[in-house]
Amino acid sequence: MADVITTPRERHKPPAPPRTGRVAGLLAEFDSPEALKDAARKVREAGYTRWDAHAPYPVHGIDAAVGIRQTRLPWVVMGFGTLGCVTGLWLQWWTNATSYAQYPGVSTFLQGYDLIVSGKPFWSLPANIPIIFELTVLFAAAAATFGMLLANNLPLFSQPVFHCRRFMRVTTDGYYITIDASDPRFRAAPTADFLLAMHPVAVEQLEEPHTPAATPPVARRTFLFLSLLALIPLGLIAVARNSKSATPRIHPNQDMDNQVKYKAQQALPRFADGRAMRPPVGATPEQPLGLTVARGELYEDDHFYRGIVNGAFVTSFPTHRLEVPLNPALLRRGQERFNIYCAPCHGRDGSGNGIVNLRAVELSGTLGGAWVQAIDLTDDERRGRSHGHLFNSITNGIRTMPPYGDQIPPADRWAIVAYVRALQRSANATPADLPPEVQKEVQAR
Amino acid sequence: MAVMVGEIDNTWDDPRRRAPLVTGNLDFAGVTETVCRVTETPVRQTPRAWTIAFSISSTLLLILLLMIAYLFFTGVGVWGLNNPVGWGFDITNFVFWVGIGHAGTLISAILYLFRQRWRTGINRFAEAMTIFAVICALMFPGIHVGRIWFIYYMFPLPNQMGMWPQFRSPLLWDVFAVGTYFAVSLMFWYVGMIPDLATLRDRAKTQARKIIYGLLAVGWNGSARHWHRFERAYLLLAALCTPLVLSVHSVVSFDFAVSMLPGWHTTIFPPYFVAGAIFGGFAMVLFLAVPARAYFGLKHLITLRHIENMNKILLATGMIVGYAYLMEFFIAWYSANAVELFMFKTRAMGPFAWAYWTMVTCNVIVPQIFWSKRMRNNMLVTFLVAVLVNVGMWFERFVIIVSSLAQDFTPAAWDSYRPTWVEILTLAGSFGLFFTLFLLFCRFLPMVAMAEVKVIMPQPHGGHREGS
């Protein structure tokens, strides 16, 4: 039996590969994907089991010709994807939503820690979805990649076909069928005749490659040396974990830890009092904030800003200010502000029956608890209050009502006072207050 | 037909005549030869253009390494960041490079699922572009933390302090999203390349090439059983990459959208960022493909039709991005939120107006030239538009990040931002890193997916193996 069995179509006879003497199988080359498929079908029908078809690309229809069953890879990928999903879920729950030492049996460096962030819940699925998704994809993709390689028995660097020159074109434009010598039906001469009958370009005998013992000693020594080198970092970590050190940890720059600045409570001899922190200019025990006022924050107009002049509530509007002209526009502004800030409790009519009040009364009826009714702004007592008194109550709050001075600018507070006066007037109006023509209309009814 | 000299026109849309995706009468051996020849050129015969480009890019890479060393040993103060503007060039560059990567995955995964056969000519180097762009991107958040030696705090590593990452933070989602994206893209790229690495192994003449490509090809032998599992794994990876690529830039946009800053806190960000990423990424593919096909003789594999299709995608995604720009203003007005409205007025007319209008010009106005087929088929125009779109997309991220940070709620806290020379050289250096890796890829790895191209070519028949 010759090494190379050529057919008449073969022109160049390739040099014979180095011989080890043991037959690994037979190789037949075909000149087109159609010929390959026909041959594959015949080999399969002849009952061979340890054989394969080789092509430079996935030939359409080769799976059916060779009789390849659908791979189970998708199920493996799905399994690992599910594992990634569960890992992401578990990792985030364990590390962020369990408290330290909650599970005493667990080693300390694996304990979770329920860190509070902005008062958010420790365990909230929406915030955890991105990482769950990423880990699902990562695990599934790794399973697809490595699952494919493992199922294909790769990496496999030493194969009989790689010692056959003719086979080198398998990754360019060659089509081959190999039948393994370990196939139960393999008989060197009859199998070669069987392949020749399919009109291949050539049939060639494959030989066992050199044994793995032929790995060059240099390569083995290099591998051993690199493996030992790889152990050094692990050894250093083991030493560090089991020893104590007084020196600070490695820090290429100290900018963040040691900054060129003075901190609160530090000493600075350059100043007479030796303090690095400086008190405000002109500060005395009586005036601890000093004598300076930020620009635009003097607020020296007591009438306008406080509603109090010489210790008494004012009884007039600060009409000397351009912001408080007594006109319908001011009343409309006051109405709008009143409906935003005051009406929720006091009601739009000022009677004290705002929506908050109604709800609170309803709740205190079922849940108990004390609710101080918002007062009626139109009663006689409130009608008797001076303008300055009302202004002061809005600014600083009173009883359970919070201060609104920081939310409503002074001019708007005065506008609200004006509107409250209008509400009081309308709540206590008599028919005589109506315009004459309306009085006539009412009387006519 | 408006076609440049030396180009073969296969851009017709007549459905009765299927346009060939491989031109020049190449047979299978011709395809292999065309692609492998580039990597097999002896060192002494390296094309001059490659040597010049490589020396420029490796110089820039060296500058990058010097800048990073300076940053580490002196501190983040060498950058121009200040108190309101805590993110400047660093995060702008990060988002820019991550975005570039997206077109590679879109071509390799999404177009594969949609059975767009033309993708096979460009998917390999688009994927390579993804890998290298993501490497550049990952570098920036890594170095901007200031104290790089604590970088392991980002990962959930067991420790006695009970100190775990804060999983409710978008910044941590980013670590996982971009990390996964890099890992999965690398697997997808490598798996797809195994058969082509085997081609290089089988053609190798020197011992070194035999060993290196032999190791990389993991013993691929073209077995039908292997191909069966390979195709299934490739399909699964494509199916996994598709939602992944959409998630990655969405998560990147969460870094902004989840915070409460005017100009950032908008629901349009995830789709807007993904469209922008694809837009910018395709511009980068064109920027690389137009010179590569000319210098490495790949005109028959990356044909005029490929360029034309990519230009059409550029036009479409450019208009999506333009729509997002308009919609941001509309929502700012419609929300009746004074701070939001002020933010957007300041963006278009404030101190960073020059950056804003550069962005609008490059991203919305310039691509409109591709309504003309003549322009779509003109290599010079294509290349220039690709450059401008890359510039525009970089400015888009700069505008979003810096103009929002510089003027937020409290005027007392406003400040401006001016990059230092270190930041500018770091940006230039990141291009050095990208192009160094890309040039090495062009020179030593198969630039076109040969096995995939062979599937879309007419199949040979018995007795015609030598080609027509």
Interval A218-236: pLDDT, tens? 778 888 999 999 999 999 9
Residues 167-186, chain B, touching A (beta carbon < 8 A):
167-170, 172-173, 176-177, 179-180, 183-184
Test A68 with B225 for CB contact under 8 angstroms: yes
Nearest CA to B141 among B58, B60, B76? B76
Report how far residue B282's alpha carbon sits from residue B386's, in angstroms, rounded to the nearest whole number. Answer: 8
Touching check for A164 and chain B: CB below 8 Å?
Answer: no
- From chain A, the residues in CB contact with B460 under 8 A are 31-33, 173
- DSSP reduced 3-state for B365: helix
Looking at CA atoms only, how far is residue B82 from chain A in angstroms?
15
- Please give the pLDDT value at position B297: 77
Test B167 with A169 for CB contact under 8 angstroms: no
Say if CB B446 and CB B36 are below 8 A apart. yes
Question: Low-confidence residues of chain B, pLDDT below 70?
Answer: 1-6, 461-468
- From chain B, the residues in CB contact with A154 under 8 A are 218-220, 226
Q: Is the peptide bond before A74 cis (omega within 30 degrees of 0)?
A: no
Mutation to test the B interface, candidates A149, A157, A171, most B Cβ within 10 Å = A171
CA dihedral B110, B112, B118, B124 (to 10 degrees): 90
- From chain B, the residues in CB contact with A74 under 8 A are 232, 236
- Please give the pLDDT value at position A82: 97
Q: Can you tell me the ipTM of this complex?
A: 0.92
User: What are the distances in angstroms from CA A285 to CA A271, A274, A276, A278, A280?
Assistant: 19, 19, 19, 15, 12
CA angle, residues B301, B305, B309, in degrees to nearest 5 = 120
Test A253 with B72 for CB contact under 8 angstroms: yes
pLDDT digits 0-9 by tens, A250-274:
777 776 677 788 888 999 999 988 9
Nearest to A96 among B167, B224, B450 (CB): B167
- From chain A, the residues in CB contact with B221 under 8 A are 54, 159, 161-162, 167, 170
- From chain A, the residues in CB contact with B237 under 8 A are 141, 144-145
Which of A212-221, A240-249, B451-460 is predicted with the least confidence, judged by mean pLDDT? A212-221
Test B465 with A169 for CB contact under 8 angstroms: no
What value does the mean pLDDT take over residues A33-49? 92
Say if CB B441 and CB B125 are below 8 A apart. yes
- Report the run of H or E that residue A206 belongs to, with start and end: strand A202-207
Comparing alpha-carbon positions, the chain B residue that sits nearest to A170 is: B222
* Domains of chain B: residue spans and CATH: 28-455 (1.20.1630.10)
Touching check for A147 and chain B: CB below 8 Å?
Answer: yes
What value does the mean pLDDT take over residues A67-71? 92
- The residues, any chain, with a CB within 8 Å of residue B315's CB and separated by 6 or more, are B367, B368, B370, B371
Touching check for B467 and chain A: CB below 8 Å?
Answer: no
DSSP secondary-structure letter at B425?
H
User: What are the distances in angstroms from CA B466 to CA A32, A228, B26, B29?
Assistant: 11, 52, 11, 9
Nearest CA to B400 among B279, B280, B253? B253
What value does the mean pLDDT take over residues A418-427? 93
* Domains of chain A: residue spans and CATH: 1-210 (no CATH), 302-434 (1.10.760.10)
| The pair of three-digit structure tokens given for residue B266, joined into one six-digit string | 């908008």
- From chain A, the residues in CB contact with B73 under 8 A are 252-253
Nearest to A58 among B183, B184, B455 (CB): B455
Nearest to A253 among B75, B158, B196 (CB): B75
Touching check for B72 and chain A: CB below 8 Å?
Answer: yes
Test B465 with A120 for CB contact under 8 angstroms: no
User: What are the distances in angstroms from CA B387 to CA B8, B129, B310, B428?
Assistant: 24, 16, 14, 15
Please report, rounded to a whole number, the percentage of residues in chain A having pLDDT higher than 90.
47
- From chain A, the residues in CB contact with B180 under 8 A are 134-135, 137-138
Which of A154-168, A383-397, B127-141, B415-429 is predicted with the least confidence, judged by mean pLDDT? A154-168
Report how far residue A101's alpha carbon sits from residue B37's, in angstroms, rounded to the nearest whole number. Answer: 63
Question: What Rg do the C-alpha atoms of chain A give, in angstroms?
Answer: 47
Touching check for B28 and chain A: CB below 8 Å?
Answer: yes
- Please give the pLDDT value at position B235: 94
Report how far residue B435's alpha carbon sits from residue B64's, in angstroms, rounded to the nearest whole number. Answer: 13
Q: Which residues are registered as beta bridge partners of A177?
A: A28, A53
Output A83 or A353, whichever has higher pLDDT.
A83
Cβ-based contacts under 8 A for chains A and B = 239
| The pair of three-digit structure tokens given for residue A379, joined into one six-digit string | 């009663």
Reported confidence tier of residue A17, pLDDT bands at 50, 70, 90: very low
- Please give the pLDDT value at position B466: 39
The per-residue DSSP string of B306-363 comes to HHHHHHHHHHHHHHHHHHHHHHHHHHHHHTT-HHHHHHHHHHHHSTTHHHHHHHHIII
Task: Identify the top-confidence range among A27-36, A80-89, B293-302.
Answer: A80-89
What are the backbone angles phi and psi of residue A24, rounded to the nearest 5°? -100, -20
Nearest to B164 among A54, A113, A137 (CB): A113
Average pLDDT in chain A: 87
Say if CB B410 and CB B339 are below 8 A apart. no
The per-residue DSSP string of B139-206 comes to HHHHHHTS-GGGGGGGS----TT-----TT-HHHHHHHHHHHHHHHHHHHHHHHHHHHHHHHHHH--S
User: Locate tokens 């933010």: which residue?
Assistant: B343
- Please give the pLDDT value at position B6: 63
- The residues, any chain, with a CB within 8 Å of residue B187's CB and separated by 6 or more, are A141, A142, A144, A145, B237
What value does the mean pLDDT take over residues A62-72? 92
- Please give the pLDDT value at position B121: 82
Nearest CA to B71 among B146, B169, B174, B180? B146
For A95-128, b where at least 16 C-beta lie within 10 A, e where not — what string?
A: bbbbeeeeeeeeeeeebbbebeeeeeebeeeebb
Output B12 or A329, whichever has higher pLDDT.
A329
Nearest to B177 among A100, A127, A134 (CB): A134
